Amino acid sequence: MNEAEFRDQLVTVLPRLRRFARGLAGNATQADDLVQSACERALSRQQQFQEGTRFDSWMFRIVQTIWIDQLRARAVRKEDGSEIDEERYGNDEPVRQVEARLALAEIRQAMSRLPEEQRVVLMLVTVEGYSYREAAEIADVPLGTVMSRLARARAALAVLLDQGRGLPGSHDNATARR
Amino acid sequence: MQQQDDRRDLDERLVAFLDGEADEAEQAAIIALQETDPAIRTRLERLAQATELARGAFDDVLDEPVPAHLLALGRAPAEAEPASSSAIILPFRRRKPKPKQPGKAWRLGRLKDSPLAGIATIAAMCVLTIGLTVSIFGNHIPYQPVDPDMPMATDMGSRQVASANAVAPDTGLGSAGWMDTVAGYHNLFISSARGAENTVFDVTPHTENALPGDVRVPNLGVWGLEFQGARRIVLDGKPAFQFFYRPDQMADRQAGTTPATDSAGGITHTSAQPPAAKPPAGNKPVGSKTAAGKAALPVTLFVTTGEQSFDRPERPPTFQHRDNVNLTYWRHRGHGYALVGQADKGWMFSVANDIAYQTGAH
């Protein structure tokens, strides 16, 4: 793969990298910073990409590695997720989208409350559609770990969603949790 | 504890089943389990619901235009040797050095004399959706409806939002978010052209064979537009090309000698309409100076590629107003097309029909 092909591949995978990063970081600015760091690292280590392997997997791995590194370095913690919500609710969207947006915000918030390592595999498998084996390679963990993290992540989501939905006045409850 | 482990183990099995990771024997086992045990069935349904909700939770990010600074990483650095790269640097026009004038006056003066002046003026009029702000002319340029014969464009826009969303799935471009995306890409191009010496294209007029075999570059010479190049982009998660057309050289020369006054704010710029750029007879007449001038504004054409399925219905050119641009989109032979620009509706429609004709003529 020459330089131009490499950059083409990079551009093609950008939207998915942004989606993945948004899932990890929560807010758009932090997510795009993460994508930028990953792209810069990829460009500086082009020669490390192995021909015949999947370029997107390689990029996702870089994104998640940098994200975990950043978490460790900055000890980023999101106890209440208020910062994220501000951004998610700050957009002026048409009224018809508000309902869908509330549901979306709820599920995103539920996802943001998951432990980092669960969120990574959830994003990789459920959102990005990677197989367990691919996700294990990207996240650099054993296959069995992917399975257990996925199961726990989804079980936790199911519980959080139940809390936010099934009860009367569920939206008020959801608001209170913020 | 044993019970907890069992539950976790069961969740793992159910989740793997939902993810298509279970082998045939395990699939059969899960199906049998949930048929015999209502609790397991409920659990499976709940996990499936959680999975579905999570799956689409961040899809709207795909509809967002990728920020310019990220896209820029995908382009070869300007100092790279063009010969070694598929991205060839194509200068818009060599700019004559101008004596430096102070402050805003210098910038205005320089832009006025630059062949990019028309583009710069549009840039100032754009409502930029991608976080770029263009303030070279301050904020005294009011938004003008692009078609004087139409009702206020803003009314038109809001009225058509509902229908746009209703028809969007037929375009093959997914949700209606793509319209904002193409408008954003168009505005980004216009704004990034401001004062830029070079624009890097993935495909230039000399490397058109780099395009996929079923994608052609329409010749818009009759409309006074010249193909500048194309960039690879991603629309709604699908590969696509954005073609750039700007007023051809004859238009520029004409414009250089007969500067026009832009109706939008009294700014003098160089988008006068040359005879060559007049729409052919038979189209809706463009009666006003504004409309005539707008006809020689840059346009971008979006073409989606790489679609495996051609079974989506064809769609004739349909008009939309979005983010201060006029947008005409259609579907033809497995490609989604969108023509974006700021010329008036009748002219945009005519160009779109011409492109549809040209792309169907082979």
Residue range B274-312, pLDDT digits in tens: 333 444 444 433 333 333 444 468 888 988 876 655 566
Sequence letter at residue A115: P
The band of B91, judged by pLDDT with boundaries at 50, 70 and 90, is very low
Residues of B in contact with A122 (CB under 8 A): 54
Q: What's chain B's average pLDDT?
A: 62
| Mean pLDDT across B254-278 | 39
Cβ-in-10-Å burial (0-12, 13-18, 19+) of B207 comes to middle
Give the mean pLDDT of B54-68: 86
Report the SS3 class of residue B339.
strand
CA dist list (Å): B136 to B48, B110, B133, B228, B271: 53, 12, 9, 25, 18
- Helix ranges restricted to H, chain B: 2-18, 24-36, 38-55, 60-63, 68-73, 103-113, 117-125, 153-167, 177-192, 249-257, 289-294, 345-360
pLDDT in tens, A91-146: 444 444 555 555 778 888 889 989 999 999 999 999 998 999 999 999 999 999 99
As a whole number, mean pLDDT of residues B213-237 equals 80
B83 → chain A, closest CA residue: A4
Which of A146-150, B57-61, B170-174 is the least confident region?
B170-174
Distance CA B362, CA B354 (A): 14
- Report the share of chain B in percent with pLDDT over 70: 48
Task: Supply the pLDDT for residue A84.
Answer: 41
More confident site: A169 or B349: B349
- Name the more confident of B122 and A27: A27
CB-based contact B164:B156 (threshold 8 Å): no
Element (H, E) at B318: strand B315-322
Q: Is the pLDDT of residue B151 over 70?
A: no
Give contacts of A 140-159 with B, CB under 8 A.
147-148, 150-152, 154-155, 157-158
Task: Summarize the confidence of residues B19-34 as an average pLDDT.
Answer: 87
The amino acid occupying position A39 is: C
Q: Are the Cβ atoms of A15 and B73 closer than 8 angstroms?
A: no
Cβ within 8 Å, pair A5-B11: no
- What's the pLDDT tens digit per position in A53-104? 899 999 999 999 999 888 887 764 444 444 444 333 334 444 445 555 557 7
Average pLDDT over every residue of B92-120 = 34
B330 strand-pairing partners: B337
Q: What share of chain A is helix, strand, coil (3-state, %, to 5)?
A: 80, 0, 20
- Residue A46 at interface with chain B, using a CB cutoff of 8 Å: no
CB atoms within 10 A of CB B81: 7
Chain B residue with minimal CA distance to A130?
A: B19
Other C-beta atoms closer than 10 Å to the C-beta of B283 total: 14
d(CA B155, CA B147): 12
Report the sign of the C-alpha dihedral through residues B44, B46, B49, B54, in that order: negative
